[in-house]
Amino acid sequence: MPKRQSKPHAKRQNPAEAVIDIFGGQAALARALGLHRSTVCRWTMPVSKRGTGGRIPGAAKDRIMELACKRGLTDITYDVLYKGRVKSQ
């Protein structure tokens, strides 16, 4: 019997995961924003563990958009900042 071709799975990323991924990791985003890495890490944690549940704090959103424009990161849009994105694997 022939093997089934697996289709690439799409993963839904919340806003924090998407922005961290586009910037190249938590440390890179934290450095760019002038924040401690643990602050950015907390954005990915569930609210039950004192995180933001994937939400990016409002104070950081404008700064992220500024940095994205300066660095030419066109994947970061207001939709990504508020809704996240679907990333193919």
Confidence band of 86 (pLDDT split at 50, 70, 90)? confident
* Distances in whole angstroms, Cα of residue 55 to Cα of each of 2, 3, 20, 73, 85: 44, 40, 12, 20, 13
Any idea which fold 10-84 has? 434 Repressor (Amino-terminal Domain) (1.10.260)
Kindly state the tokens that stand for 39: 């602050």
Confidence band (pLDDT; 50, 70, 90) for 10?
A: low
Nearest C-alpha neighbor of 29 from the set 19, 14, 43: 19
Distance between CA 49 and CA 88 in Å, rounded? 28
- The reported pTM is 0.83
Q: Would you state the pLDDT for residue 12? A: 85
